[in-house]
Amino acid sequence: MASAILASLFHPSEVVALVQYRLSSKANPDYSNNKTRERLYFFLNMTSRSFAAVIQDLDSEELKDAICLFYLILRGLDTIEDDMTIDLDVKIPYLKTFHEIIYQKGWNFTKNGPNEKDRQLLVEFDIVIDGFLQLKPVYQAIIADITKRMGDGMAHYATAGIRVETIADYDEYCHYVAGLVGLGLSDIFSACGESPMLAERKDLSNSMGLFLQKTNIIRDYLEDLHDKRRFWPKEIWGQYADNIEDLIKPENKEKSLECLSHMVMNAMEHIKDVLEYLNMLQNRSIFRFCAIPQVMAIATLNMLHTNYMIYIRENIKIRKGETVWLMKQTDNINAVAAIFRLYTRQINIKSNPLDPHFVDIGIICGATEQTCVSKYPGSTAELKRLQAGVMAGTSGNVLTAAAVVAGAVVLKGAFA
């Protein structure tokens, strides 16, 4: 917390959000009366604390359990697929039949390498299966269907290799690893009583996943390069370099930044679908569950745009203070539309007029602005409120001083 406050000292709205977060942190739910659930949520926190936090805020225990198990089952599948110590002739049958395995009581898996991060999840996977079999049949069917489709996709890429040549290949890969999750979540939401239109608009559900995945792929360029993985489509990077590795060479900086803006532009094409999907959600807790990752993504895209550091340093992230501030603001569609307007305006301002995608990015930013003004008119007032908080740190005013004092209080507590 102390380092997060130091990073946000010149962003007082973030410091205030961090202090409020520190003072109002909820105690972890107590599942001690149900040992299966207790272990399931232990694994959820172990595999993804950020995802666990948004799941815990859902207002329906039935929905919470369904999404928790959906996530853990897909994580188990991914843990087998991602382990390069497992021979393909062993791995492929598991990937293709995992949707059937989740119905087999007592099944677990001990063939992962000792260094595989989520190995223990599969060692105790019988607990996940017990929880899965306690779900309503409608949730079981949805989870099994997505698991089958994702497993088939993983088996295909494991045998044929991940060759992302065209933008169509890129979209297909992102569909298998993230778009299918969006489809499954929409089906689960509809099954629990949320708008039935969610399950019908598969294009929007897919875009929700693609926007998140493409943002992560842009951010993780250097990490993936070091791990000998290539997810940027050649149809894009091939316009700027002979080899994708050439983008990190200092002499190619100008072309590398043009390639980056092209990748950012490609991801931004999903913004309209993201906002349309979120506008269909009626339940506040489901809305926040879906919207929080999306506002993090647009904030991350803004950080990545024109940022040459992605070619120099791994693990680039938005500030923790900014993350907490965004979570605090993400309460309704007007607030979310305002956040998208705020960041797309910043993206537009940062764009280089000499960049070949300057006009195209400007068009997407303008279209986002127009969509938000016409479809989410309340976003204008929300935008003014957000801007007042964001800009407060640039004027050396009382709020800045208050934020620094508040930060100092937390710092004192952190080191006490």
Neighbouring CB atoms inside 10 A of 265's CB total 22
Q: Identify whether the C-beta of residue 13 lies closer than 8 Å to the C-beta of residue 393.
A: yes
Closest CA to 298 of 251, 324, 337, 334: 337
Q: Provide the 8-state DSSP code for 343.
A: H
* Residue type at 85 in one-letter notation: T
Q: Identify whether the C-beta of residue 67 lies closer than 8 Å to the C-beta of residue 185.
A: yes
Q: Identify whether the C-beta of residue 112 lies closer than 8 Å to the C-beta of residue 119.
A: yes
Closest CA to 114 of 85, 78, 151: 85
Q: What does the block give as tokens for 66?
A: 């369904």
Burial (0-12, 13-18, 19+ Cβ within 10 Å), 362 = middle
* DSSP conformation letters of 157-208: HHHH-----SHHHHHHHHIIIIIHHHHHHHHHHHHTTS-THHHH-HHHHHHH
Q: Which residues are catalytic?
A: 173, 219, 229, 289
Q: What does the block give as tokens for 168?
A: 């169509």
For 240, phi then psi, to 5°, come to: -125, -15
Neighbouring CB atoms inside 10 A of 128's CB total 24
Neighbouring CB atoms inside 10 A of 312's CB total 11
Q: What does the block give as tokens for 280?
A: 């269909």
Neighbouring CB atoms inside 10 A of 198's CB total 25
Query: Considering Cα of 283, then 288, then 289, then 294, what sign does the dihedral take?
Result: positive
Spacing of C-alpha 262 from chain mean position = 20
